[in-house]
Amino acid sequence: MQIKLASSYGFCYGVKRAIEIAEQNPHSATYGPLIHNKDEINRLKNNFNIGLVENIDEAHKEDSIVIRTHGIPKKELKQLKAEGKKIINATCPYVTTPQQIVERMSKDGYSIVIFGDKNHPEIKGVVSYAEDEKDAFVVLKPSDLYDLPLKSKVAIVAQTTRKPQDFLAIVNELVLRVKEVRVFNTICNATFENQDAAAELAKEADVMIVIGGKHSSNTKQLHSICSNYCTDSYLIENENELNPQWFEGKSLCGISAGASTPDWIVQNVVKKLKEIVS
């Protein structure tokens, strides 16, 4: 069986930057998981003594706080700064952008529509930058726009890891409903590249392995895209989850990885896979 890696996969710029920032600040603690990959979080803990706090109360006890790539709510960031703590902001610049747009456009009197998952930490942070959070609406599909109390002018941004075609569907619906729509494409280019590369590989593979955290939005998107072209597509976090039965009678195994997946995990999967099919 041939094993082929996607032409673009794994760590994006924001994640690489966050890992480097964390490594440069040992004996600190991240506010929430720095990235959605527990194996990499454990590596940082074991090698750099970087802890993890899950809420503002736990953060009070730490001297140095690393802000996760997905960002945190504006009020919580303000609280931490007011306490005089050392704040190391590893928020991805591509996440900071929609935060700034929401803050500016809401001050200018626009209703805010955010395309994404309301329970995702990135979106929780973005919503918090609206002047009035009651005028910021999170949607996942065009029908979610129905009956929303939108103003006559609306600004829309997107979660960085969402599909462009889904974003456009919501934009098109907004244009039909609202007099003025300001569209800000805040989907990350790295997301495009990984998704396009995964789709192309899935078209020719008869089994696909997508590597990444089970809670990672962009990894789940990759798996969904691969499943559209290759029915035998599997999402795993590391090499220990590989099942030899998946590869029986297969000729080409494609491999992709989410933006929070370090290359050392990808290489471990490739090594284990070669052992399985040898």
| Residue 122 annotated as catalytic | yes
Strands, E, within the chain: which ranges? 2-5, 29-31, 51-53, 64-67, 86-89, 111-115, 136-139, 153-158, 180-183, 207-211, 233-236, 252-257
Contact indicator for 273, 240 with CB cutoff of 8 Å? no
Residue 278: strand, helix, or coil:
coil
Residues constituting the chain: 278
CA pair distance 91, 94, nearest whole angstrom: 8
CA pair distance 181, 152, nearest whole angstrom: 9
Out of 40, 76, 122, 239, the active site residue is 122
Contact indicator for 112, 155 with CB cutoff of 8 Å? yes
At 38, the amino acid letter reads K
Residues paired with residue 157 on neighbouring β-strands, in sequence order: 114
Q: Which residues are catalytic?
A: 122
